[in-house]
Amino acid sequence: MLTIKNLVKKYGKFTAVDNLNLHINKGSIYGFVGPNGAGKTTTMKIIAGLLSATSGSVMINGEEVVKNPRLLREKIGYMPDFFGVYDNLKVTEYMDFYAGTYYIPYKERKDIIDNLLEIVDLTDKKDSYVDSLSRGMKQRLCLARSLVHDPELLILDEPASGLDPRARVEMKEVLKQLREMGKTIIISSHILPELAEMCTEIGIIDRGKLSAEGTVNHIMQQLTKKRIINVKPFENNEKLIKLLSEKPFISEIIENTDDVEFAFDGDDKKLSLLLKNIITEDIPIISFKEKEGNLEEIFMQITGGNENDA
């Protein structure tokens, strides 16, 4: 559906997007994650045709965006990170205006608008003025607006930012519905866990570069070369510690009061052999498990660290 090749965007000497490559399949929900200033908005604006790239190309269904902007506008729905609404305009009129900007015939508009307001749960706000809506409602209205021409690809730039937990949940519900409708969605956020559960794929962008890509699980494996293993011995640790410290693929052994944690470098087979080894050495253990990676920690690990050299 969407292919980005060697995308570069420079603002003067500053490179905001640095040779970005990505491919998004039809029907996927692609989470575009990165810290502030990573280049998410810049990339999304280029896809939407609002910014021109310094070099590289963006293709939708094999067609270059810059070569056929009008046709591609039909296919893209875009929700910017920051947006405003007009004064003195009611919700239905707001929707009607944008239906007009896509030249949707008057007689078709009512059904489309009613249906979209239903999806974003704003039906009972139909006749309210848009500037009187709450932030969460405005965000959902803007999402409905981006759907008015039934686009195939939705570009949502931090649709949940600035929302309270409840409004976030509501926004997520709407996105789930869109996924069921078969839309291809790119959604950005600077919080990885927020996206993890609803995305089919995730791309992590940092300083204009894609630093990891794939399914959530894939990313975790890619990033956590060292796996953290937690073992609970029965009674004393000494024998266990001795055994572990002899292995070259084990490091960072931490002795807690009733368990031992260590970093393990290897695949599942190696891990099973280790367990076998412990048991044949007659060390009694009551549990042996791999610690679940924490998304937030991983995210901090990839993107953090060198914040200060920017």
Partner 1 sequence: MMLNPIIRREAKTSLRSWKMFLAIALYTLIISGAAIIFIKGVISGGYMGVDLRGLSILYAVLGFMQFAMTMIMVPALTAGSISGERERQTLDILLVTKMTTFSIVIGKLASSIGIFLLMMIATLPVFAIVFFFGGLSLFNLLIMEIYMVVVSVMAGSIAVFFSTFFKKTVSSIIFTYILLGILCFGTLIFTFIYIAYCNSSVDVNPSMVAILLTNIVNPGVGFANIIDKQLGTNLVTSFFGYWIEFTPAAKILNNYFLIINIVINIIITSIFTVLSSLKLKSTNN
Ligand X SMILES: Nc1ncnc2c1ncn2[C@@H]1O[C@H](COP(=O)(O)OP(=O)(O)OP(=O)(O)O)[C@@H](O)[C@H]1O
| Tokens standing for residue 230 | 């937690």
CA distances, 140 to each of 117, 174, 220, 264, 299 (Å)? 9, 8, 31, 45, 27
233 binds ligand X (CB under 6 A): no
Whose Cβ is closer to ligand X: residue 14's or residue 106's? 14
- Asked if residue 16 binds ligand X (CB under 6 A), the reply is yes
**Residues 185-224: x/- map of binding to ligand X (CB under 6 A)?**
-----x----------------------------------
CB of 152 or CB of 201, closer to ligand X: 201
208 sits in the region (left: phi over 0; alpha: psi -120 to 50; else beta) called left
Closest contact distance (angstroms) between CB of 190 and ligand X is 5
For residues 184 and 27, the answer to whether their CB atoms sit within 8 Å is yes
Among 18, 64, 81, 150, binds Mg ion (CB under 5 A): 81
Residues in 50-89 at the binding interface with ligand X, rule: CB under 6 A? 81
User: Which member of 6, 25, 26, 52 binds partner 1 (CB under 8 A)?
Assistant: 52
Q: Is 138 helix (H, G, I), strand (E, B) or coil?
A: helix
| DSSP-assigned beta bridge partners for residue 7 | 20
State the helix-helix crossing angle for 295-303 and 216-223, rounded to 10 degrees: 60
31 binds, among ligand X, Mg ion, partner 1, none (CB under 5 to 8 A by kind): none
> How do beta strands 55-60 and 63-64 pair?
antiparallel
The yes or no reply on residue 48 touching partner 1 (CB under 8 A) is yes
Q: Which of 41, 139, 146, 184 binds Mg ion (CB under 5 A)?
A: 41
